[in-house]
Amino acid sequence: GPKVLQIPSHQIIDMGQMVTLNCDPVSNHLYFYWYKQILGQQMEFLVNFYNGKVMEKSKLFKDQFSVERPDGSYFTLKIQPTALEDSAVYFCASSLGGEVFFGKGTRLTVV
């Protein structure tokens, strides 16, 4: 089936540093998402993105977070600066507007 690729699978970063999580969505998809999952808890919506713009963001999408997809390349989530509570698995997803396909996630550890 269609694949959403996430790079890297695991990232360890010092608190206060910047991190960029990369996502290669399904090629013809139009909607892009980031979700956050803390171990043992539910997956929570962060943001969705369409036609070059953020459509909706949740309260978890702090001012330190930003997303972009320049010229149809990777869909990225940037966190600057990182905080300890940002440690989680971040899932990228994409859709044509119907079924949502998820990547395998990037495990971010902030130390």
Q: Is 65 in the site for other proteins (CB under 8 A)?
A: no
What is the number of residues in the chain?
Answer: 111
Q: Is 48 in the site for other proteins (CB under 8 A)?
A: yes
Minimum distance, C-beta of residue 94 to other proteins, in the bound complex (Å): 11
Q: Is 33 in the site for other proteins (CB under 8 A)?
A: yes
Alpha-carbon dihedral of residues 66, 71, 73, 74, nearest 10 degrees?
A: 10
- Of 1-9, 14-22, 60-68, 71-79: span binding other proteins (CB under 8 A): 1-9
Q: At 72, which amino acid appears?
A: G
28 — alpha (psi -120 to 50), left (phi > 0) or beta?
Answer: alpha
Sign of CA dihedral 11, 47, 70, 97: positive
**Out of 11, 20, 65, 102, the residue judged to bind other proteins by CB under 8 A:** 102
Q: Which residues bind other proteins (CB under 8 A)?
A: 1, 4, 6, 31, 33, 35, 41-45, 48, 50, 55-56, 91, 95, 97-105
